[in-house]
Protein backbone atom coordinates (compact mmCIF):
# COMPACT_ATOMS: atom_id res chain seq x y z
CA UNK A 1 0.00 0.00 0.00
CA UNK A 2 2.89 2.37 0.76
CA UNK A 3 4.22 1.73 -2.73
CA UNK A 4 0.89 2.73 -4.26
CA UNK A 5 0.84 6.03 -2.34
CA UNK A 6 4.37 6.83 -3.48
CA UNK A 7 3.43 6.22 -7.14
CA UNK A 8 0.37 8.48 -6.84
CA UNK A 9 2.50 11.28 -5.36
CA UNK A 10 5.09 11.01 -8.13
CA UNK A 11 2.35 11.06 -10.75
CA UNK A 12 0.81 14.25 -9.36
CA UNK A 13 4.22 15.99 -9.22
CA UNK A 14 4.94 15.03 -12.84
CA UNK A 15 1.56 16.34 -13.95
CA UNK A 16 2.23 19.65 -12.18
CA UNK A 17 5.62 20.01 -13.88
CA UNK A 18 4.16 19.27 -17.33
CA UNK A 19 1.43 21.83 -16.77
CA UNK A 20 4.04 24.49 -15.87
CA UNK A 21 6.05 23.66 -19.01
CA UNK A 22 2.96 24.02 -21.21
CA UNK A 23 2.25 27.46 -19.70
CA UNK A 24 5.81 28.62 -20.33
CA UNK A 25 5.67 27.41 -23.92
CA UNK A 26 2.50 29.35 -24.51
CA UNK A 27 4.09 32.52 -23.22
CA UNK A 28 7.09 32.10 -25.53
CA UNK A 29 4.84 31.54 -28.52
CA UNK A 30 2.99 34.76 -27.80
CA UNK A 31 6.41 36.38 -27.47
CA UNK A 32 7.50 39.42 -25.70
CA UNK A 33 7.52 41.74 -28.68
CA UNK A 34 10.11 44.49 -28.60
CA UNK A 35 10.55 47.45 -30.76
CA UNK A 36 13.65 47.75 -32.85
CA UNK A 37 13.44 50.32 -35.56
CA UNK A 38 9.67 50.35 -35.30
CA UNK A 39 9.51 46.65 -36.19
CA UNK A 40 8.08 44.18 -33.74
CA UNK A 41 10.61 41.45 -33.19
CA UNK A 42 9.89 38.28 -31.22
CA UNK A 43 12.43 36.17 -29.40
CA UNK A 44 13.89 33.41 -31.53
CA UNK A 45 14.64 31.17 -28.58
CA UNK A 46 12.74 29.45 -25.83
CA UNK A 47 13.59 30.02 -22.17
CA UNK A 48 15.21 27.18 -20.33
CA UNK A 49 12.81 24.63 -18.97
CA UNK A 50 10.00 24.89 -21.49
CA UNK A 51 10.85 21.82 -23.52
CA UNK A 52 9.21 19.34 -21.20
CA UNK A 53 10.79 16.33 -19.63
CA UNK A 54 13.54 14.83 -21.76
CA UNK A 55 13.92 17.78 -24.19
CA UNK A 56 11.61 16.02 -26.60
CA UNK A 57 10.85 17.47 -30.02
CA UNK A 58 13.58 20.18 -30.17
CA UNK A 59 13.71 21.79 -33.61
CA UNK A 60 11.30 19.26 -34.90
CA UNK A 61 13.74 16.41 -34.31
CA UNK A 62 12.79 13.82 -31.72
CA UNK A 63 15.49 12.38 -29.50
CA UNK A 64 13.39 9.53 -28.11
CA UNK A 65 12.59 11.48 -24.95
CA UNK A 66 9.31 12.91 -26.10
CA UNK A 67 7.31 15.06 -23.70
CA UNK A 68 3.74 14.37 -22.73
CA UNK A 69 0.61 16.24 -21.94
CA UNK A 70 -1.08 16.35 -18.56
CA UNK A 71 -3.61 13.77 -19.70
CA UNK A 72 -0.86 11.39 -20.85
CA UNK A 73 1.01 11.78 -17.58
CA UNK A 74 -2.16 11.18 -15.62
CA UNK A 75 -2.91 8.08 -17.67
CA UNK A 76 0.56 6.70 -17.16
CA UNK A 77 0.33 7.36 -13.44
CA UNK A 78 -3.00 5.59 -13.20
CA UNK A 79 -1.56 2.67 -15.15
CA UNK A 80 1.29 2.46 -12.66
CA UNK A 81 -1.20 2.53 -9.79
CA UNK A 82 -3.27 -0.24 -11.33
CA UNK A 83 -0.16 -2.30 -12.11
CA UNK A 84 1.11 -1.87 -8.54
CA UNK A 85 -2.25 -2.94 -7.15
CA UNK A 86 -2.26 -6.01 -9.38
CA UNK A 87 1.27 -6.91 -8.28
CA UNK A 88 0.25 -6.51 -4.66
CA UNK A 89 -2.80 -8.74 -5.15
CA UNK A 90 -0.67 -11.37 -6.88
CA UNK A 91 1.92 -11.33 -4.10
CA UNK A 92 -0.80 -11.55 -1.45
CA UNK A 93 -2.42 -14.50 -3.24
CA UNK A 94 0.96 -16.25 -3.48
CA UNK A 95 1.58 -15.68 0.23
CA UNK A 96 -1.83 -17.12 1.10
CA UNK A 97 -1.13 -20.17 -1.06
CA UNK A 98 2.24 -20.67 0.62
CA UNK A 99 0.64 -20.45 4.08
CA UNK A 100 -2.01 -23.01 3.12
CA UNK A 101 0.63 -25.39 1.77
CA UNK A 102 2.68 -25.03 4.96
CA UNK A 103 -0.42 -25.65 7.07
CA UNK A 104 -1.30 -28.76 5.05
CA UNK A 105 2.24 -30.12 5.50
CA UNK A 106 2.04 -29.40 9.25
CA UNK A 107 -1.25 -31.29 9.58
CA UNK A 108 0.13 -34.21 7.56
CA UNK A 109 3.24 -34.40 9.75
CA UNK A 110 1.12 -34.37 12.92
CA UNK A 111 -1.05 -37.17 11.53
CA UNK A 112 2.00 -39.27 10.65
CA UNK A 113 3.42 -38.72 14.15
CA UNK A 114 0.13 -39.81 15.75
CA UNK A 115 -0.10 -42.89 13.52
CA UNK A 116 3.47 -43.84 14.39
CA UNK A 117 2.78 -43.44 18.12
CA UNK A 118 -0.30 -45.69 18.08
CA UNK A 119 1.45 -48.24 15.88
CA UNK A 120 4.36 -48.47 18.31
CA UNK A 121 1.95 -48.73 21.25
CA UNK A 122 0.04 -51.55 19.53
CA UNK A 123 3.28 -53.38 18.76
CA UNK A 124 4.32 -53.10 22.41
CA UNK A 125 0.94 -54.43 23.56
CA UNK A 126 1.20 -57.39 21.20
CA UNK A 127 4.73 -58.09 22.41
CA UNK A 128 3.62 -58.09 26.07
CA UNK A 129 0.66 -60.32 25.21
CA UNK A 130 2.92 -62.80 23.45
CA UNK A 131 5.27 -62.81 26.43
CA UNK A 132 2.36 -63.46 28.81
CA UNK A 133 1.03 -66.33 26.68
CA UNK A 134 4.48 -67.88 26.42
CA UNK A 135 4.91 -67.70 30.18
CA UNK A 136 1.51 -69.29 30.77
CA UNK A 137 2.33 -72.06 28.30
CA UNK A 138 5.61 -72.80 30.07
CA UNK A 139 3.84 -72.90 33.42
CA UNK A 140 1.15 -75.19 32.01
CA UNK A 141 3.76 -77.58 30.61
CA UNK A 142 5.51 -77.62 33.98
CA UNK A 143 2.28 -78.43 35.81
CA UNK A 144 1.45 -81.14 33.29
CA UNK A 145 4.85 -82.75 33.80
CA UNK A 146 4.43 -82.55 37.55
CA UNK A 147 0.99 -84.13 37.42
CA UNK A 148 2.25 -86.86 35.11
CA UNK A 149 5.16 -87.70 37.38
CA UNK A 150 2.88 -87.84 40.38
CA UNK A 151 0.35 -90.05 38.62
CA UNK A 152 2.93 -92.41 37.18
CA UNK A 153 4.88 -92.83 40.39
CA UNK A 154 4.07 -95.96 42.41
CA UNK A 155 2.15 -95.16 45.57
CA UNK A 156 3.78 -96.26 48.78
CA UNK A 157 2.81 -96.10 52.42
CA UNK A 158 4.19 -93.62 54.95
CA UNK A 159 7.32 -94.24 56.98
CA UNK A 160 7.41 -94.37 60.81
CA UNK A 161 8.43 -90.71 60.94
CA UNK A 162 5.21 -89.75 59.18
CA UNK A 163 2.70 -92.24 60.54
CA UNK A 164 2.59 -94.40 63.68
CA UNK A 165 0.58 -97.53 62.84
CA UNK A 166 0.29 -98.47 66.52
CA UNK A 167 -1.31 -95.24 67.76
CA UNK A 168 -2.63 -94.00 64.41
CA UNK A 169 -0.94 -90.63 64.94
CA UNK A 170 -0.11 -88.68 61.77
CA UNK A 171 2.89 -86.31 61.65
CA UNK A 172 1.79 -83.73 59.11
CA UNK A 173 4.28 -81.79 56.94
CA UNK A 174 4.35 -78.04 57.42
CA UNK A 175 2.55 -77.22 54.18
CA UNK A 176 -0.46 -79.38 55.10
CA UNK A 177 -0.74 -77.68 58.52
CA UNK A 178 -2.04 -74.47 56.96
CA UNK A 179 -5.60 -73.36 57.82
CA UNK A 180 -6.88 -74.34 54.39
CA UNK A 181 -6.41 -78.03 55.34
CA UNK A 182 -7.82 -77.89 58.89
CA UNK A 183 -11.11 -79.62 58.10
CA UNK A 184 -9.73 -82.51 56.04
CA UNK A 185 -6.74 -82.89 58.38
CA UNK A 186 -9.02 -83.25 61.44
CA UNK A 187 -11.23 -85.78 59.64
CA UNK A 188 -8.25 -87.93 58.61
CA UNK A 189 -6.88 -87.84 62.19
CA UNK A 190 -10.20 -89.19 63.47
CA UNK A 191 -10.47 -91.85 60.75
CA UNK A 192 -6.97 -93.24 61.34
CA UNK A 193 -7.37 -93.12 65.12
CA UNK A 194 -10.64 -95.07 64.87
CA UNK A 195 -9.00 -97.53 62.46
CA UNK A 196 -6.15 -98.18 64.93
CA UNK A 197 -8.47 -98.62 67.92
CA UNK A 198 -10.54 -101.22 66.08
CA UNK A 199 -7.45 -103.13 65.01
CA UNK A 200 -8.15 -102.58 61.33
CA UNK A 201 -11.69 -103.91 61.65
CA UNK A 202 -13.34 -100.59 60.83
CA UNK A 203 -14.34 -102.03 57.51
CA UNK A 204 -14.77 -100.81 54.00
CA UNK A 205 -16.66 -97.72 55.07
CA UNK A 206 -13.62 -96.41 56.90
CA UNK A 207 -11.43 -96.97 53.84
CA UNK A 208 -13.94 -95.13 51.60
CA UNK A 209 -14.01 -92.18 53.99
CA UNK A 210 -10.19 -92.02 54.05
CA UNK A 211 -10.09 -92.08 50.25
CA UNK A 212 -12.67 -89.27 50.02
CA UNK A 213 -10.79 -87.15 52.57
CA UNK A 214 -7.45 -87.60 50.80
CA UNK A 215 -9.06 -86.67 47.46
CA UNK A 216 -10.41 -83.47 49.02
CA UNK A 217 -6.95 -82.66 50.43
CA UNK A 218 -5.35 -83.21 47.02
CA UNK A 219 -7.85 -80.82 45.43
CA UNK A 220 -7.09 -78.13 48.02
CA UNK A 221 -3.36 -78.60 47.56
CA UNK A 222 -3.68 -78.22 43.78
CA UNK A 223 -5.01 -74.69 44.26
CA UNK A 224 -1.60 -73.70 45.63
CA UNK A 225 0.47 -75.18 42.82
CA UNK A 226 1.52 -71.70 41.60
CA UNK A 227 2.20 -70.18 44.99
CA UNK A 228 4.39 -72.81 46.70
CA UNK A 229 7.83 -74.17 45.78
CA UNK A 230 7.74 -77.24 43.59
CA UNK A 231 9.64 -79.42 46.05
CA UNK A 232 7.27 -78.63 48.91
CA UNK A 233 4.28 -79.26 46.67
CA UNK A 234 5.58 -82.64 45.54
CA UNK A 235 6.42 -83.68 49.12
CA UNK A 236 2.93 -82.76 50.33
CA UNK A 237 1.31 -84.60 47.42
CA UNK A 238 3.42 -87.69 48.12
CA UNK A 239 2.40 -87.55 51.80
CA UNK A 240 -1.32 -87.48 50.89
CA UNK A 241 -0.85 -90.41 48.50
CA UNK A 242 0.87 -92.31 51.33
CA UNK A 243 -2.11 -91.70 53.64
CA UNK A 244 -4.49 -92.98 50.96
CA UNK A 245 -2.32 -96.08 50.59
CA UNK A 246 -2.34 -96.67 54.38
CA UNK A 247 -6.15 -96.34 54.37
CA UNK A 248 -6.50 -99.24 51.96
CA UNK A 249 -4.64 -101.69 54.15
Tally of CA atoms within 13 A in the half-sphere of 184 that contains its CB: 23
CA atoms of 107 and 130, how far apart (whole Å): 35
Give start and end residues of each alpha helix (H) in 35-166. 70-152
**Residue 195: per-residue pLDDT:** 83
Q: Write out pLDDT tens, residues 121-154.
A: 899 999 999 988 888 888 877 776 666 555 544 5
* Among the ranges given (52-56, 164-168, 199-203, 212-216), the one the predictor scored with the smallest mean pLDDT: 52-56
Listed range (30-44, 169-183, 189-203) with the worst mean pLDDT: 30-44
Mean predicted lDDT score pLDDT of the chain: 75
Q: CA 88 to CA 155: how far, in whole Å?
A: 102
118: pLDDT strictly greater than 60: yes
pLDDT of the residue at 48: 44
Those residues with Cβ within 8 angstroms of residue 22's Cβ, 6 or more apart along the chain or in another chain: 69, 70
Q: Which residue has the higher pLDDT, 14 or 35?
A: 14
SS3 content of the chain, % helix, strand, coil (to 5): 70, 5, 25
pLDDT number for residue 158: 84
Query: pLDDT at position 144, please?
Result: 66
**Whole-prediction pTM value?**
0.40
What's the confidence (pLDDT) of residue 13?
Answer: 58
Helices 204-222 and 230-248 pack at an angle, to 10 degrees, of 170
- Note the pLDDT tens digit of each residue in 74-90: 788 888 889 888 999 99
Percent of the chain's residues with pLDDT above 90: 20
Alpha-helix runs per DSSP H in 153-229:
182-197, 204-222
DSSP state of 51: S
**Contact indicator for 175, 232 with CB cutoff of 8 Å:** yes
Query: 203-223: per-residue pLDDT in tens?
Result: 677 888 888 999 999 999 999
pLDDT of residue 197: 81
Given a cut of 50, is residue 3 above it in pLDDT?
yes
| Average pLDDT for 35-45 | 43
What is the structure's pLDDT at 73? 78
**pLDDT tens sequence across 183-203:** 999 999 998 888 888 766 666
Amino acid sequence: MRRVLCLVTVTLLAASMWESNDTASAQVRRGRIGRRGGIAVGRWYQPYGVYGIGYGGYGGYGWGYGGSTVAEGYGRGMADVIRAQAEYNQADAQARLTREEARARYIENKKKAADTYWEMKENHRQYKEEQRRAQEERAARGRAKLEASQTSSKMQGLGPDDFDPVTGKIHWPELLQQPEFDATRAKLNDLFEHRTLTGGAAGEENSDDIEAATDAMRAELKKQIRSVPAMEYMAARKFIDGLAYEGRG
